Structure 1
Amino acid sequence: MIQTRHDDLRSYQVGPVHAELRGLTVSDDREGMLEGTPHLHRRFRLMGIEKAMAATPHLYVHDLDKVRADAERRVEEWLPREAVHARLTSWWTPEAMAEPGHTALSVMWFQTPAQDPFAYLATIVRPLDWTSLAGFVPFED
């Protein structure tokens, strides 16, 4: 797992909104698989994504349509094995929101071990619309 200290937060431009990276986890997408095929791995990956989307509000999965299409095909090529989860926050809040808080967005994607997850995150989030994807998180006392 890659971690940064609070004073080392990385900043990202997400559409018109400035956001800070609060957490980034890189894990082995094939962990726990003792046997299988590339096709089975694709189906397990899609099931894992659907479970994560149900459990995590405001989760954006990069290339989700491609992942779904891959799960339907019988392809004998292994997918990239690293699953990456990032959590971003911003001080931007919807105008209608009267209570104090911030907005948050989780992003998930898959990559090879050779790719830099921080640089790849920047390319994923730059064209996104933070205002429609992120969720409001009120401050708790």
Structure 2
Amino acid sequence: MIRTRQGELRSYQVGPVRAELRALTVSDDREGMLEGTPHLHRRFRLMSIEKAMARTPHLYVHDLDRIRADAEKRVEEWLPREAVQARLTSWWTPEDVAAHGHTELSVMWFQTAAHDPFAHLATIVRPLDWTSLAQFVPFEE
């Protein structure tokens, strides 16, 4: 369920934690691709996901196991074209952290242009465990 009020950020339920959407970007996953096959596109997508995960340790990629399995099986069906990435934050902090700050989680998925990314995000994050996936970010002084 998405809750929005005038002047407020969108709020999402992520497991037991309420989180606010700070950024959502939608990009063309095939941008710059001059030619190729669905299998090659899957391999390139998987490489870009692995690079993104190395840069962002608190990145959750929806359906990552399926994407990996499809690349191995050489599935010859084109993947959804839109790559979506969302950044969520929450005031929830781990009990063992004494510093002031917040927690943050980035979520990535792929979809067609016909899907509403905000509604899709709500579906993806609802069953996730924020406490094990999110990263603590201390306030800078």
TM interval, short-chain normalised: over 0.9
Q: What residue in structure 1 maps to residue 35 of structure 2?
A: 35
SS in 2 for 1:92: coil
Q: What residue in structure 2 maps to residue 94 of structure 1?
A: 94
Q: What residue in structure 1 maps to residue 10 of structure 2?
A: 10
Moved beyond 6 Å, runs of 4+ = none
User: Identity of counterpart residues, as a percentage?
Assistant: 85
**When the two structures are aligned, how many residues end up with a matched partner?**
136
Structure 1 residue 126, shift from structure 2 partner: 0.2
Structure 2 distance, partners of 1:48, 1:123, is 24
Structure 1 residue 77, shift from structure 2 partner: 1.1
Q: What residue in structure 2 maps to residue 26 of structure 1?
A: 26
Structure 1 residue 59, shift from structure 2 partner: 0.3
Q: Does 1:53 align with 2:53?
A: yes
Describe the superposition over 1:25-69 as per-residue Cα deviations: whole angstroms up to 9, x where unpaired: 000000010010000000000000000000012000000000000
Describe the superposition over 1:66-106 as per-residue Cα deviations: whole angstroms up to 9, x where unpaired: 00001112222100010000000000001111110000000
Q: TM-score, length-normalised on structure 1?
A: 0.94
Structure 2 distance, partners of 1:20, 1:138, is 17
Q: Which has the higher mean CA deviation after the structures are superposed, 33-42 or 69-78? A: 69-78
Structure 2 distance, partners of 1:132, 1:30, is 32
Q: What residue in structure 2 maps to residue 140 of structure 1?
A: 140
Describe the superposition over 1:96-121 as per-residue Cα deviations: whole angstroms up to 9, x where unpaired: 11110000000000000000000000
SS in 2 for 1:106: strand
Report the residue type matching 2:77 in the other structure.
E
Q: What residue in structure 2 maps to residue 3 of structure 1?
A: none
Q: What residue in structure 1 maps to residue 3 of structure 2?
A: none
Uncovered stretches (5+) of structure 2, i.e. residues with no partner: 1-5
Structure 1 residue 9, shift from structure 2 partner: 1.0
Q: What residue in structure 2 maps to residue 74 of structure 1?
A: 74
Q: What residue in structure 2 maps to residue 104 of structure 1?
A: 104
Structure 1 distance, partners of 2:123, 2:108, is 13
